[in-house]
Copies of this chain bind each other. A is one copy, B any other.
Amino acid sequence: MTNTLTHLNLTHLNDSGAAAMVDVSAKPASSRLARAGALVHTTPEVLRLIEQALLKKGDVLATARIAGIMAAKKTSELIPLCHPLLLSKVSVDFQLLAAQGQIQIEASCLVSGSTGVEMEALTAASVAALTIYDMCKAVDKAMTISDIRLLEKTGGKSGHYVLEDQ
């Protein structure tokens, strides 16, 4: 391994390699935001079905939105070493890419605290995607979810991060 890794470390492992929730008590509380994305790949036909439902009551996306928001609040229950925190805002938005048969998901989380909210935004986006999968799987068994990733992050000592190619 090169020198550049000598200062790297997997922050959740202690000296002997055992897992632990890292101590964040010395980190000052600050306002932090994270945006994360996910992409559901299905077919143009399934998108049309979802949209027709939208024209009626919009429940596929409404259900996925609620699932994503509720999942963000469960992040520290799901991800073993995540710190509990008091989210001050969660939103989940969808963009239907009709021609490609894709649904783009973007989740956004806000907190005033001492840890970032990347995992909350990523969890919201992932569970919203899984909910769309669940509601459409009867008509498309070959759906795939991809591009679960951080789009933007502000606050904390690591500064402003924006994914370049979005």
Q: What residues of chain A have their CB less than 8 Å away from a CB belonging to chain B?
A: 1-2, 4-5, 8-14, 16-25, 31, 45, 48-50, 53-54, 56-63, 65-67, 69-71, 73-74, 76-93, 110-114, 118-119, 122-123, 126-127, 129-131, 133-139, 141-150, 153, 158, 161, 163
14 residue pairs of the A-B complex, CB under 8 angstroms, read A8-B49, A9-B138, A17-B58, A20-B65, A25-B88, A62-B62, A63-B66, A66-B80, A71-B78, A73-B77, A80-B131, A82-B134, A119-B137, A130-B148
Within 8 Å by CB of A84, from B86, B141, B161, lies: B86
Name the prevailing secondary structure of the A interface residues: mixed
For A71, what are the chain B residues with a Cβ–Cβ distance below 8 Å?
Answer: 78
Q: In the complex, how many angstroms separate the beta carbon of A164 from the nearest chain B beta carbon? A: 9
Separation of A23 and B119 alpha carbons in the complex (Å) = 18
A69 and B8 contacting across the interface, CB-CB below 8 Å: no
Pick from B31, B63, B77, B163: contact of A142, CB under 8 Å: B163
A130:B79 contact, CB within 8 angstroms: yes
